[in-house]
Amino acid sequence: MAEKLKFAFYWAASCGGCEVAVLDIDQKILDVIQVADIVFWPCAMDFKYKDVEAMEDKSIDVCFFNGAVRSSEQEHLAHLLRRKSKVMVAFGSCACFGGIPGLANLYTKEEIMRRQYIETPTTVNPEKTMPQTSYMAPEGELTIPEFYESVNSLGQVIDVDYYLPGCPPPPELVVAAVEAIAKGNLPAAPAIIAGNKTVCEECPRTKAEKIVKKFKRVHQVIPEDDVCLLEQGIVCCGPGTRSGCGAQCLQVNMPCRGCFGPPDHVTDQGAKLLSALTSIMDAEDPEKIMEITKSIADPAGTFYRFSMPVSLLEKKHFTKEASEKKDVAEVK
Amino acid sequence: MKNEFEPNIVAFCCTWCTYTGADLAGISRMIYPSNVKIIRTMCSGRVDPQFVMKAFREGADGVMICGCHPGDCHYQNGNVKAMRRYPLLVEMLGQFGIEEDRIMLEWVSASEGDKFAEICEVMTERVKKLGPLGMKRKGQDFRQALMHPAKKINEEVPVKA
Domain ranges of chain B: 9-147
Nearest-CA distance A318 → chain B (Å): 6
The predicted pLDDT at position A26 comes to 80
Dist CA B123 CA B117 (whole Å): 10
CB contact under 8 A, A284 and B81: no
DSSP B110: T
The predicted pLDDT at position B153 comes to 39
Q: What separation in angstroms does the CA of B152 have from each of A155, A157, B120, B134, B156?
A: 10, 8, 43, 26, 9
Dist CA B47 CA B65 (whole Å): 8
Dist CA B161 CA B158 (whole Å): 8
Q: Which of B85, B95, B139 sits opposite A278 (nearest CB)?
A: B85
Phi-psi region at A282: left, alpha or beta (left = phi > 0; alpha = psi -120 to 50):
beta
What is the model's pTM?
Answer: 0.89
Nearest-CA distance A221 → chain B (Å): 23
Q: What is the DSSP string of A102-118?
A: GGGGGS-HHHHHHIIII
Find the helix or strand (DSSP H, E) in which B14 lies: strand B9-14
Of A195, A145, A146, A161, the C-alpha closest to A65 is A161
A268 interfaces chain B, CB cutoff of 8 Å: yes
Helix, strand or coil for residue A270?
A: helix
CB contact under 8 A, B92 and A284: no
Is residue A166 a contact partner of residue A93, using CB atoms and an 8 Å limit?
Answer: yes
pLDDT for B26 beyond 50: yes
* pLDDT tens figures, B58-89: 999 999 999 999 999 999 999 999 999 999 99
For chain B, how long is the longest CA-to-CA vector?
65
Helix, strand or coil for residue A176?
A: helix
Contacts of B87 in chain A (CB under 8 A): 286, 289-290, 293
Contacts of B57 in chain A (CB under 8 A): 312-314
A141 interfaces chain B, CB cutoff of 8 Å: no
Mean pLDDT of B5-24: 96
Architecture of the B9-147 domain? 3-Layer(aba) Sandwich (3.40)
The predicted pLDDT at position A321 comes to 56
Of chain A residues 207-246, which have a CB less than 8 A from chain B?
none
Contacts of B86 in chain A (CB under 8 A): 289
Q: How confident is the model at residue B155 (pLDDT cuts 50, 70, 90)?
A: very low
Q: Which of A153, A159, A267 sits opposite B152 (nearest CB)?
A: A159
Q: Which residue blocks in chain A are alpha helix, DSSP H?
A: 17-23, 28-35, 49-54, 72-84, 93-97, 109-114, 171-183, 199-202, 248-251, 269-279, 286-294, 299-303, 320-331
A193 interfaces chain B, CB cutoff of 8 Å: no
Please give the share of chain B, as a percent, with pLDDT higher than 70: 89
CB contact under 8 A, B50 and A271: yes
A267 interfaces chain B, CB cutoff of 8 Å: yes
Q: Which of B50, B97, B158 sits opposite A79 (nearest CB)?
A: B158
Please give the share of chain B, as a percent, with pLDDT higher than 90: 80
CB atoms within 10 A of CB B56: 24
Averages of pLDDT over runs of 10 residues in chain A (332 residues) are 83 92 84 87 87 92 94 94 94 94 93 92 91 91 92 92 93 89 84 92 92 92 92 95 94 94 92 95 93 94 94 85 53 44
E strand map for A190-312: 191-192
A272 interfaces chain B, CB cutoff of 8 Å: yes
Q: What separation in angstroms does the CA of B53 have from each of A85, A232, B126, B134?
A: 35, 29, 19, 13
Residues of chain A with CATH 3.40.50.700: 5-101+152-192
Dist CA A79 CA B158 (whole Å): 8
Nearest-CA distance A27 → chain B (Å): 33
Mean pLDDT of B17-38: 96
* Helix, strand, coil fractions of chain B, as percent rounded to 5: 40, 15, 45
If you count residue pairs, one on A and one on B, with CB atoms under 8 Å apart, how many are there?
144
CB contact under 8 A, B92 and A277: no
| CATH entry, A5-101+152-192, from 3.20.20.70, 3.40.250.10, 3.40.1350.10, 3.40.50.700 | 3.40.50.700
The predicted pLDDT at position A23 comes to 85
Of B118, B121, B137, the C-alpha closest to B129 is B121
